[in-house]
């Protein structure tokens, strides 16, 4: 009964989404207040019914209802309770339901927090998001219904893929989806602005916080995914340039370009068309990510479906969305105009260059990811594009980008003088260069790549310090001045520092990691990087839904015990799948990473063991965290709270408060 309620709720949600996608947009075009006013109630209704559907599926998982096909395929009565809940999005159908549910959540959020926007704009934004929702609900109901029954019911489920039985999976997909789906808000604002034909800077101001929130989720989601791959796949790698990772990385790159471009559009009125195009691109790439991952075109841990009907549906949906928005863009964009003027040497052109570099980087990832698909489709045979391609393209693109990234916050809008700027930055740059040249000597072998990476990282740090000093030094007490800076300024600096920390992590782990695959007898000792790893053998243990061999490794440095590590090799009962569970000792300066390969036959308990030393690897994720934190700071800025207060005031119909906001914002730029 419960699954049927869920199914029914989906159908109702589809109906509501359809109304939401049509009525308010017609209302906005005809200036019909009743139709426009329908947007909010429809948005609330859609959210309620999708929540019901989501709750029904979760319930089916929790009570082990194996008469539901999807539950039987992705759960098992032995599965620990927390993974029963996360198994809801452990497969194709449930992921789609999660996607739709989150989209309904974003629509709800826009409906609730848009009181200060003109009714026409709200109607169009909610309408466009409603249309996106229609696409996904149709897809779900016609090709991948999560509530499909299995008759007769299975005695027990097939179990969730062991790789996915991990705390990382509980958070990673919802986070990432929040990001993917969140870009639909920026997209909807851009389309609404195109539909309305009024492309002033206001739409950028409205969509900025939404875009930043989506970007924060996406940054977090990708970072968690990377961290999960690092400790769960047992290979010690943190990024594989796997097509599925690339699918999430492309919208992130474009999204990063978008939040910078939005800033310019809002503050200077420049890049108007470009910003619209980026908003369309970011969401299109999010959709394409879903297409790549879910259609079964790419096979990996993430791709569940191998049903061509689904692929064709998503592909058509993609074509409709991208085609329609680009057509609209081509039709309306000439009206938008290019916006504010600026010089070749100006903060605008630095930001524009970085925008272009980020987009080009996304395009090069796109080429590398889709090239094998195209070649295969053209009958040119199967091939694969490996990580070396991406590294060879990415590094040369990111070097100028990072150099300009340090300059950007220091340069003036509209026009700066090169000699003057060079004079300001010379000490910052010189100290960064000096550290970059000398630091590798203390770490071991000096190499040009390490020095380059460190130069980039310390250049960001030094230029951030310089910017802080210029802003905070001067008259008045330090604290006063520090408090006087807008939070969004600290947000930007935090995100930029995050990039620096990230680069340090990547550079040092690539430059100085050591990886050893060795055969170890019980009692064997391996010396590596100043540590002694002693293998004390492995014992059989029994987990809740698996059997495992649990190894014991004592790590000591100069005779002193550092830590004990317990890597596991598991065999899951229901699926029979083996799984390597690495043991990691995490530290500020690096990780000790041990995982069990396989037992060596005809020996006294010997194992093939991986012993990795990963210097500064955690800085990679710490950097991502700082970037996300920067985004959070930026949206906590006072002016967004001012908006809300102003909106309340404006409820009493005075327009002067808008003027106040504009005045405060003018000061910040």
* Shortest Å distance, C-beta 249 to other proteins: 16
CB of 352 to other proteins, least distance (A): 9
Characterise 236 by phi-psi region: left (phi > 0), alpha (psi -120 to 50), beta (else). left
DSSP one-letter code for 199: -
Query: Considering Cα of 217, then 223, then 229, then 231, what sign does the dihedral take?
Result: negative
Cα–Cα dist 129/46, whole Å = 12
Query: Between residues 386 and 444, which has the closer beta carbon with respect to other proteins?
Result: 386
Distance of closest approach, residue 390 Cβ to other proteins, in angstroms: 8
- 255, 627 Cβ separation under 8 angstroms: no
Nearer to other proteins, 604 or 656 (CB): 604
Cis peptide before 152 (omega within 30 of 0): yes
Classify 270 as helix, strand or coil: strand
Contacts of 299 (CB under 8 A, 6+ apart): 306
User: Least distance from C-beta 568 to other proteins, angstroms?
Assistant: 12
Q: Which is nearer to other proteins, 375 or 468 (CB)?
A: 375
Q: Which is nearer to other proteins, 149 or 158 (CB)?
A: 158
How deeply is 423 buried, as exposed, middle or buried, from its count of CB atoms within 10 A (0-12, 13-18, 19+)?
A: exposed
Closest listed residue to residue 614, CA positions, set 634, 646, 643, 588: 588
C-beta closer to other proteins: residue 567 or 623: 567
For 337, other C-beta atoms within 10 Å of its C-beta total 12
Q: What is the DSSP letter of 346?
A: S
Q: State the alpha helices, DSSP H only, in 473-578.
A: 478-484, 487-512
Min dist. Cβ of residue 518 to other proteins (A): 7
By C-beta, is 188 or 594 nearer to other proteins? Answer: 594
Compute CA 534 distance to the chain's CA centroid, rounded to the nearest angstrom: 39
Instruction: Write out 205-223 in H/E/C secondary structure.
Output: HHHHHHHHHHHHHHHHHHH
Q: CA 459, 460, 466, 471: dihedral to nearest 10 degrees?
A: 170
Omega of the bond leading into 231 within 30 degrees of 0 (cis): no
Q: Using alpha carbons only, what angle is made at residue 197 by residues 196 and 200, rounded to the nearest 5 degrees?
A: 105
Nearest alpha-carbon partner for 241 in 412, 358, 384: 384
Write down the least CB distance from residue 472 to other proteins, Å: 35
* Residue 534: strand pairing partners: 525, 554
Nearest CB to other proteins, comparing residues 192 and 582? 582
Min separation Cβ 559 and other proteins, Å: 28
**Distance spanning both ends of the chain, measured CA to CA:** 58
Q: Name the burial class of residue 632, with classes exposed (0-12), middle (13-18) and buried (19+) by CB atoms within 10 angstroms of its CB.
A: middle
Nearer to other proteins, 382 or 527 (CB): 382
Q: Is the CB of residue 52 less than 8 Å from the CB of residue 4?
A: no
User: By C-beta, is 163 or 254 nearer to other proteins?
Assistant: 163
| Shortest reach from residue 315's CB to other proteins, in Å | 18
- Cα distance between residue 350 and residue 463, in whole Å: 15
Give the helix ranges, DSSP H, for 408-447: 418-443
Q: Return the number of the residue (392 or 589) whose C-beta is nearest other proteins.
A: 392
Task: Please identify, using beta-carbon distances, which residue of 48 and 577 lies nearer to other proteins.
Answer: 577
In whole angstroms, how close is the CB of 595 to other proteins at the nearest point? 8
What is the smallest separation between the CB atom of 578 and other proteins, expressed in angstroms? 5
Strand order across the beta sheet in which 514-520 lies = 514-520, 607-615, 590-599, 583-587
Label residue 323 exposed, middle or buried (CB < 10 Å: 0-12, 13-18, 19+): exposed
| Nearest distance in Å: CB 363, other proteins | 8
Smallest distance from the beta carbon of 5 to other proteins, in angstroms?
A: 32
Give least dist CB 226 to other proteins, A: 17
State how far the Cα of 355 lies from the Cα of 307, in Å rounded to an integer: 37
CA atoms within 13 A on the CB side of 529: 19
- Asked whether 251 and 221 are in contact (CB, 8 A), the reply is no
Phi, psi angle pair for 580, to nearest 5°? -95, 125
Q: How many CB atoms lie within 10 A of CB 255?
A: 30
Q: Which is nearer to other proteins, 170 or 579 (CB)?
A: 579
Contact positions toward other proteins, by CB under 8 A? 161, 163, 234, 299-301, 343-344, 349, 356, 360, 364, 367-368, 371, 381-386, 388-389, 392-393, 396-397, 517-519, 575-580, 597-598, 600-601, 603, 606, 608, 610
Query: Looking at beta carbons only, is 153 or 356 nearer to other proteins?
Result: 356
| CB-nearer residue toward other proteins: 328 or 397 | 397
Supply the minimum distance, in Å, between the C-beta of residue 520 and other proteins: 9
The backbone torsions φ and ψ at residue 234, rounded to the nearest 5 degrees and listed phi first, read: 75, 10
For other proteins, give the closer residue by CB, 95 or 580: 580
The CB-of-613 to other proteins minimum distance in angstroms stands at 17
Nearest CB to other proteins, comparing residues 167 and 400: 400
The least distance separating other proteins from the CB of residue 306, rounded to whole angstroms, comes to 9
């Amino acid at each position: 009964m419960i699954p049927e309620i869920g199914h029914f709720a989906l159908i109702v949600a589809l109906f509501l989404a359809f109304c939401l996608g049509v009525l308010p947009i017609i209302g906005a075009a005809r200036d019909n207040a009743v139709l426009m006013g329908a947007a909010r109630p429809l948005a609330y209704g859609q959210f309620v019914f999708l929540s019901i559907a989501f709750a029904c599926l979760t319930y089916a998982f929790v009570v082990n209802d194996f008469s539901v096909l999807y539950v039987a395929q992705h759960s098992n009565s032995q599965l620990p309770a927390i993974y029963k809940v996360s198994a809801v999005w452990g497969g194709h159908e449930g992921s789609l339901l999660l996607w739709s549910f989150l989209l309904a959540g974003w629509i709800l959020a826009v409906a609730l927090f848009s009181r200060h926007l003109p009714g026409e704009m709200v109607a169009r934004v909610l309408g466009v998001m409603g249309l996106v929702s229609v696409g996904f609900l149709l897809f779900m109901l016609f090709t991948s219904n999560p509530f499909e029954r299995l008759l007769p019911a299975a005695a027990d489920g097939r179990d969730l893929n062991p790789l996915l039985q991990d705390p990382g999976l509980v958070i990673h997909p919802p986070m990432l989806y929040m990001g993917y789906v969140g870009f639909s808000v920026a997209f909807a604002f851009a389309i609404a602005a195109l539909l309305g034909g009024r492309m002033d800077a206001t739409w950028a101001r409205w969509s900025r916080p939404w875009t930043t929130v989506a970007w924060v989720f996406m940054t977090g989601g990708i970072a968690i995914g990377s961290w999960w791959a690092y400790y769960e796949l047992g290979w010690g790698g943190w990024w594989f340039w796997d097509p599925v990772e690339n699918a999430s990385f492309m919208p992130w790159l474009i999204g990063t370009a978008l939040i910078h471009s939005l800033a310019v559009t809002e503050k200077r009125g420049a890049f108007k068309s470009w910003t619209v195009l980026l908003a369309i691109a970011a969401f299109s790439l999010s959709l394409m990510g879903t297409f790549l991952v879910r259609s079964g075109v790419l096979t990996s841990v993430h791709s569940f479906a191998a049903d061509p009907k689904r692929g064709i549906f998503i592909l058509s949906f993609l074509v409709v969305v991208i085609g329609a928005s680009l057509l609209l863009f081509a039709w309306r964009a000439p009206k938008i105009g290019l916006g504010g003027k600026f010089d070749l040497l100006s903060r605008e052109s630095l930001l524009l260059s970085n925008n272009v570099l980020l987009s080009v980087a996304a395009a090069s990832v796109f080429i590398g990811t889709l090239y094998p698909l195209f070649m295969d489709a053209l009958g040119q045979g199967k091939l694969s594009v490996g990580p070396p391609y991406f590294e060879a393209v990415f590094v040369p693109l990111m070097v100028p980008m990072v150099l300009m990234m340090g300059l950007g916050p220091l340069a003036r809008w509209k026009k700066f003088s090169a000699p003057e700027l060079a004079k300001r930055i010379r000490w910052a740059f010189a100290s960064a260069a000096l550290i970059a040249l000398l630091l590798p000597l203390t770490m071991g072998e000096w190499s040009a790549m390490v020095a380059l990476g460190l130069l980039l990282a310390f250049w960001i740090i030094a230029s951030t310090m310089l910017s802080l000093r210029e802003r905070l030094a001067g008259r008045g007490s330090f604290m006063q001045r520090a408090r006087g800076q807008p939070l969004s300024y600290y947000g930007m600096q935090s995100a930029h520092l995050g990039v620096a920390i990230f680069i340090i992590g990547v550079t040092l782990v690539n430059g100085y990691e050591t990886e050893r695959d060795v055969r170890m007898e019980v009692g064997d000792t391996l010396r590596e990087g100043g540590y002694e790893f002693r293998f004390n053998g492995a014992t059989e243990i029994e987990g809740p839904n698996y059997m495992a061999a649990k190894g014991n490794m004592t790590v000591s440095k100069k005779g002193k015990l550092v830590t004990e590590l317990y890597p596991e090799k598991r065999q899951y009962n229901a699926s029979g799948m083996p799984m390597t569970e690495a043991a990691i000792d995490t530290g500020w300066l690096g990780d000790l990473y041990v995982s069990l390969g396989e037992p060596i036959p005809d020996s006294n308990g010997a194992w093939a063991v991986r012993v990795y030393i990963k210097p500064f690897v955690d800085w990679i994720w710490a950097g991502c965290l700082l970037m996300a934190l920067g985004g959070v700071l930026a949206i906590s800025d006072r002016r967004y709270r001012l908006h809300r207060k102003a909106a309340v005031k404006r409820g009493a119909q005075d327009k002067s408060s808008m003027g106040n906001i504009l005045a405060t914002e003018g000061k910040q730029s």
